[in-house]
């Protein structure tokens, strides 16, 4: 007797280092999780942490066919494990924000006529005019950023229009660079997707629209009316609107999964595809963020984000259209030196062991006896700085710290930066503030204890570190009823509540108040002017 059909929903995450998938049942319980790690499972692409850092140390890309092949592999893994795709009622997904994919002229015809006998990476190998997609770690478009801000009347004006000042990783500036350096490649490109809408296009076997939320990470979309800004488009490249297509609300049902997936994997013809969005916005959905909460994602990038009702564009940080409620917004601060920085210090100071790393945090005192550090192996976004800078309790620069002091200085510094820059943007740590942590490092209780002490707030986590995948599975369910104006919160009220993990150490707030002030003052000594830095 065949097992009863257990309707389920999928959430995909095309992130920097891996492709992840989660399946949940109608009771929102996780029934399947899997991933393909790009470096380990696709060694033929020879990426490091999922990317190529070019010789100029500014340009950072990822091979688009690696993402395509990762999807082939994870679907085959699921099929071999007996996963029944016919039970999937709907799915949505996320992609690393700001990255872009360039479809070559004629690709839409190839997408429409995929043979289910072959894997996607063979069928699509001639479909991309740019084989190495620019990704969010890139910082090579300083001149394009200057031109864009000049074209629209300055940095704050651009922030008022698009939610951010010109950012080197943002897609409009990346497109401008490709157009200026390779106009013939740009001319051969019939469609430009974000990583999120590229992934949705694979499942639709047709170009998927960009959603409002991920679209607001491009320096091209007007966050007030969700329309492309003509001034910004024209400042980046000619005929750009036609290559981008129109945008859609993040809860839109884009259509049904394509015949390729029905015939090759057994998806139901009724399986719906809900608009894909950015990874951080998907995490906001996955963590059931409430007003007053602060979310911190500890992944390849560390990001701090929160749900806001009104846009407050500034010269630092970003305002995106909200992925769950298209009348609301989300604020985000991005810190590029996240997990890769923690892993490098773990390798150098804890013999590559997280247990040793945690022991070092346990055996060093809150506040680290006044030792402070700034750890930026790659050019940091918040603040704009690079290099390793250590200061002793007298604010004197020192060349090194003992290993366990180095470990605490790294973690305290990463979290003090988050609190300082969040409060600079007006985000208040209130008595009822909850810190919701996600991402790989959210599994480390000692790291979360430092987070709680620095923010003087309790830290909660959800059952999986893959909040972006989970958020997309939730959004898949919501997409099926979004027309009835049911809120996501209503749809996921049965989902597990975030779980309290740590509370602040007694006296920590009194210790960190003067340290936060010192850290903010010392940070001014390590930041640089990005333009002069590159010239």
Ligand X SMILES: O=C(CO)[C@@H](O)[C@H](O)CF
Binding-site ranges for ligand X (CB under 6 A): 15-16, 96-98, 136, 169, 278-280, 301, 303, 332, 334
Sort strands 435-438 and 459-461 into parallel, antiparallel or unpaired: parallel
Distances, alpha carbon 162 to alpha carbons 112, 219, 236, 422, 460, in Å: 33, 5, 14, 20, 32
Closest distance of CB 449 from ligand X, Å = 24
- 3-class DSSP state of 382: coil
Sort strands 132-134 and 60-63 into parallel, antiparallel or unpaired: antiparallel
Closest distance of CB 388 from ligand X, Å = 22
Closest distance of CB 213 from ligand X, Å = 11
Specify whether the CB–CB gap between 378 and 56 falls below 8 A: no
Which residue, 16 or 92, has its beta carbon nearer to ligand X? 16
Closest distance of CB 16 from ligand X, Å = 5
List of residues 6+ apart from 495 with CB closer than 8 A: 28, 288, 474
Helix, strand, coil percentages in the chain from 3-state DSSP, rounded to 5: 40, 20, 35
Which residue, 18 or 301, has its beta carbon nearer to ligand X? 301
The residue nearest ligand X at its CB is 96
Closest distance of CB 60 from ligand X, Å = 11
Q: What is the CA radius of gyration of the chain?
A: 22
Task: Give φ, ψ of 337 to 5 degrees.
Answer: -85, 80
Which residue, 301 or 368, has its beta carbon nearer to ligand X? 301
**Cis geometry, peptide bond prior to residue 217 (ω within 30 degrees of 0):** no
Comparing CA positions, the residue from 191, 148, 149, 177 lying closest to residue 61 is 177
Which residue, 21 or 360, has its beta carbon nearer to ligand X? 21
- 3-class DSSP state of 417: helix
Comparing CA positions, the residue from 301, 252, 297 lying closest to residue 277 is 252
Which residue, 62 or 326, has its beta carbon nearer to ligand X? 62
Closest distance of CB 454 from ligand X, Å = 20
Sort strands 272-274 and 253-256 into parallel, antiparallel or unpaired: antiparallel
Distances, alpha carbon 444 to alpha carbons 129, 440, 456, in Å: 42, 8, 18
Q: Please classify residue 35 by burial: count the beta carbons closer than 10 Å to its beta carbon, then call 0-12 exposed, 13-18 middle and 19+ buried.
A: buried
Closest distance of CB 524 from ligand X, Å = 23
Which residue, 169 or 346, has its beta carbon nearer to ligand X? 169
Closest distance of CB 282 from ligand X, Å = 10
Which residue, 97 or 444, has its beta carbon nearer to ligand X? 97
Strand (E) or helix (H) holding 261: helix 259-265
Which residue, 209 or 278, has its beta carbon nearer to ligand X? 278
Distance CA 348, CA 362 (A): 18
Closest distance of CB 429 from ligand X, Å = 22
Cα–Cα–Cα angle for 102, 479, 439, rounded to 5 degrees: 65
Closest distance of CB 318 from ligand X, Å = 6
Place of tokens 């200061």: 391
Which residue, 60 or 360, has its beta carbon nearer to ligand X? 60
Which residue, 102 or 136, has its beta carbon nearer to ligand X? 136
């Amino acid at each position: 007797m065949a097992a009863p059909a257990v309707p389920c929903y999928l959430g995909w995450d095309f992130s920097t280092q891996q492709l992840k998938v989660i399946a949940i049942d109608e009771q929102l319980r996780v029934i399947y999780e899997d991933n393909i790690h790009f470096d380990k499972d696709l060694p033929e692409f020879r990426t490091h942490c999922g990317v190529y850092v070019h010789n100029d140390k500014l340009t950072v890309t990822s091979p688009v066919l690696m993402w395509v092949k990762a999807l082939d592999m994870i679907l085959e893994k699921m099929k071999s494990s007996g996963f029944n795709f016919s039970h999937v009622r709907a799915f949505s997904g996320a992609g690393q924000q700001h990255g872009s994919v360039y479809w070559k002229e004629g690709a839409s015809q190839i997408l429409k006529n995929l043979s289910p006998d072959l894997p996607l990476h063979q069928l699509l190998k001639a479909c991309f005019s740019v084989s190495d997609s620019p990704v969010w770690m890139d910082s090579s478009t300083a001149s394009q950023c200057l031109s864009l801000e000049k074209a629209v009347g300055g940095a704050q004006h651009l922030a008022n229009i698009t939610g951010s000042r010109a950012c080197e990783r943002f897609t409009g500036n990346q497109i401008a660079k490709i157009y200026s350096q390779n106009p013939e490649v740009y001319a051969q490109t019939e469609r430009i997707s974000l990583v999120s809408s590229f992934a949705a296009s694979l499942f639709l076997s047709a170009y998927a629209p960009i959603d409002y939320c991920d679209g607001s990470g491009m320096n091209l979309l007007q966050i007030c009316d969700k329309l492309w800004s003509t001034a910004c488009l024209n400042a980046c490249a000619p005929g750009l609107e036609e290559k981008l297509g129109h945008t859609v609300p993040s809860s839109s049902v884009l259509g049904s999964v394509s015949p390729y997936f029905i015939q090759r994997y057994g998806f139901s013809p009724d399986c719906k595809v809900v608009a894909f969005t950015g990874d951080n916005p998907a995490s906001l959905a996955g963590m059931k963020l409430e007003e007053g909460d602060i979310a911190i994602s500890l992944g390849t990038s560390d990001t701090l984000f929160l749900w806001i009702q009104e846009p407050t564009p500034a010269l630092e940080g970003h305002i995106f259209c909200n992925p769950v409620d298209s009348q609301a917004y989300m604020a985000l601060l991005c810190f590029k030196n996240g997990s890769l920085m923690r892993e490098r210090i773990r390798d150098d100071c804890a013999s590559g062991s997280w247990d040793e790393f945690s022991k070092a945090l346990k055996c060093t005192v809150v506040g680290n006896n006044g030792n402070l550090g700034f750890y930026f192996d790659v050019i940091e976004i918040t603040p704009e700085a690079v290099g390793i800078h250590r200061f002793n309790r007298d604010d004197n620069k020192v060349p090194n710290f003992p290993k366990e002091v180095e470990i605490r200085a790294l973690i305290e510094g990463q979290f003090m930066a988050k609190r300082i820059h969040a409060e600079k943007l007006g985000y208040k740590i209130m008595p009822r503030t909850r810190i919701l942590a996600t991402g790989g490092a959210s599994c480390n209780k000692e790291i979360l204890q430092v987070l709680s002490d620095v923010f003087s707030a309790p830290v909660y986590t959800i059952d999986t570190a893959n909040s972006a995948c989970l958020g997309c599975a939730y959004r898949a369910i919501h997409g099926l009823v979004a027309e009835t104006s049911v809120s996501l919160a209503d749809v996921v009220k049965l989902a597990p509540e975030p779980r309290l993990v740590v509370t602040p150490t007694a006296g920590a707030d009194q210790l960190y108040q003067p340290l936060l002030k010192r850290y903010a003052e010392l940070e001014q000594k390590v930041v640089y002017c990005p333009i002069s830095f590159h010239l």
